[in-house]
Amino acid sequence: MAWITKDSATQQIERRDEPYLSDEMTSYYTDSILPRYANKRAALLPILHDVQHHVGYLPFQALEEIATFLELTAAEVLDTASFYDDFFLEPVGKHVIGVCQSIACEACGHETMLGHLCSKLNIEPGETTPDGLFTVRTMECLGSCDTAPCALFGEERQDDLTVEKIDALIDKLSGDA
Ligand code: FES
């Protein structure tokens, strides 16, 4: 086993002048999100979801702005955002496909499904197609082990996957582009 380290201490954060958290968004959080929770920290997940919904992913600058707004450290916000599969720290395609790689799906052919998907889209897991339409990633158990292999296509779970089913789904989503 080897530890893979990143030199995060000197990592440059891309910044833009306009904040990601607009006045409208912070007013909404103050008026409608924060009152639902016992403290500011507890509002982190819904705010991460909302920012990702607006921006498409969670840039580091946005994580810092969320940290300031919620009086947390940037590290706490990054720890949370990087823990959950639901959050994207880099831009993703219009359609994000998450193939389950946990044990039931692994036993039922997830590797064949993932391989077929990647070769059809000509990308590797974790990559996005050059046209920005599809991102393929691997995920842990989607809670439907009895219908393995399965995957999330956007927010919809697709069960009992076959290569034919994958082809039909990709063709349909490509047509919707
Ligand atoms: S292992 Fe894939 S859904 Fe549970």
Report domain extents, the chain. Answer: 17-83, 95-176
Query: Which atom of ligand 1 is the closest one to the Cα of 103?
Result: 1
What percent of the chain lies above the pLDDT cut of 70?
94
pLDDT at 76: 96
31-51: average pLDDT:
97
User: Does any ligand 1 atom lie closer than 6 A to the CB of residue 107?
Assistant: no
Q: Does domain 95-176 have CATH number 3.40.50.300?
A: no
Q: Which residues pair with 98 in a beta bridge?
A: 137, 152
Tokens representing residue 9 in the block: 């201490």
Q: Is the CB–ligand 1 distance for residue 144 below 6 Å?
A: yes
Dihedral over Cα of 114, 132, 123, 63: its sign: negative
Distance CA(1)–CA(136), nearest Å, equals: 26
CATH number of 17-83: 1.10.10
> What's the whole-number mean pLDDT along residues 106-122?
96
Assess whether pLDDT exceeds 70 at residue 1: no
Residue 7 pLDDT: 67
**Long-range contacts, stretch 73-80, CB < 8 angstroms, 24+ apart:** 76/41, 77/44, 77/48, 80/44, 80/45, 80/48
pLDDT at res. 175:
82
Average pLDDT, the chain: 93
Q: Does residue 2 register a pLDDT over 90?
A: no
For 121-130, what is the mean pLDDT?
96
